[in-house]
Structure formats: structure tokens, C-alpha cells
Structure 1
């Protein structure tokens, strides 16, 4: 597939929001969205802090510890989103007989654990 082409998937849960853009969207509940946004805001602050540490020539080991902490926070957000995806989108696709979703999820998980 060429990079400019968008792959269209038929997930009944993560469908396009009515517009025919070819992009999938999720429909997580407000609590999940709020939790993910809060985590991303915290991670964004951590990244800004790391950048400031680099600019201030802070000791390398201290910066590396902060980078590790930010990576752990991103991993936590990924796990939460993967769990929600498995319990909604993937479950519904499997119930609809679309077993192709298994390959998609496996690719995503393998990419996450690299």
C-alpha cells in the first residue's frame, strides 16, 4: 500500500464519525477519555521537564531516570488503551465473525513489546 493511501477498516465500534474520510474513530466513554487525557497531560509535562533538564545540563543519570519514568507512563497509557480496545472494538469484530482483527491486534502488541 502506498503511504498516501488510507487503509479502511470495518470495525463497527471504531467507525468513522459519519463523514466518509476513511479514518476510524473510537467511542470510549467519557471516563476513559478523561483518564487518557490526564495521563497524556502528565506525560507532556514530564517531557517538557526532561527538555528543561537537558537545557540546564543536569547530570545524565538524572535525565535518564526521568526518561525511564516517562516511558513507563506511556506504557501504562498504552496498556489502558489496549485493554479498552480489546473489550470493545475487538470483541465486537470477533462476535461479527471478523477474525482478521486478531492479526491487527497481534501486530499492534508485537510492536508494543519491541
Structure 2
């Protein structure tokens, strides 16, 4: 993706509301190396995601990475603590926004599907995830 010198919003046009879903999830993604190896049990689960969600999440993660790189430079330059903390809060907010987007997608896809299949253990999984995120 070509990057311009503009704002993060100019570099990424996938900024709808968190979890906004106009398109259904795409077909199953290509397997990763561990799953393509033909092992009887994959090392981890896979979740197909819409291209829109992937783009939006990637954009927000790139913003957080940029903010954290900025914080690192601020520390190396002995910048004022208050300024560093402000940038850390911005990075934390960006990561939390990604968490909310992924959680919403998880609830709308994986959890709904598992409940429809009669798998009520997914409720415990969701409760554990909510505890991890302080909800």
C-alpha cells in the first residue's frame, strides 16, 4: 500500500465504526504453514475474516505501532514524562479499539455459530475473554 505523508486517516480509508460489517466473512483463508503440513491436529484454530475487517484492524494496529515507536524515540530523547504518558495512552486506546473490533467479530461469527451448533461451552470462553479485557 502506498504511503503518503498525510495523516493516518489519509493512509487508511477503512475507518468505519468498530465492528462495522457490510460484507460477510470471506471463504476460509489459506492455511498457515503448521496447518498446511497435514498434521492430524492443527496447532491453532483459524477464523476467516472479511477483507474490510482485516484492513481496518491492520490500519489501527499500524497506527498503534507508530505511536509506540514514537514513545520509544521520546524515551531515547529524554522527553517530558507527561508527553510520553499521553502518547502511551493514545497507543493503549488504539489497541483497545482493535480488541473491541475483534471481540465484536468473534461474537457475531464464531460464538453465534457455536451456540447454533449447541456448544454452550463457548459462553465460558467469552466470559474468560471479557475478564481478560476488564469488562
Using structure 2 for the length normalisation, give the TM-score: 0.70
Q: Where do 4+ consecutive residues of structure 1 move more than 3 Å?
A: 16-20
Alignment of 1:32-111 (within 5 A): 32-111=53-132
Over residues 68-89 of structure 1, what are the superposed CA-to-partner deviations in whole Å (9 max), with x where a residue is unaligned? 1111111111001000000000
How far has the Cα of 1:26 moved from its partner?
1.1
Q: Could you tell me the TM-score, scaled by structure 1's length?
A: 0.82
Does residue 30 of the first structure (1) align with residue 31 of the second (2)? no
- 1:11-30 mapped onto 2 (5 Å cutoff): 17=31, 19=36, 20=39, 21-30=42-51
Higher helix share: 1
User: In the TM superposition, what whole-angstrom CA distance separates every residue of 1:56-101 from its partner, at most 9, and x where no partner exists?
Assistant: 0000000001101111111111001000000000000000000000
Q: What is the RMSD computed on CA atoms of the aligned residues?
A: 1.8
Q: In structure 2, list runs of 5 or more residues that go unmatched.
A: 1-27
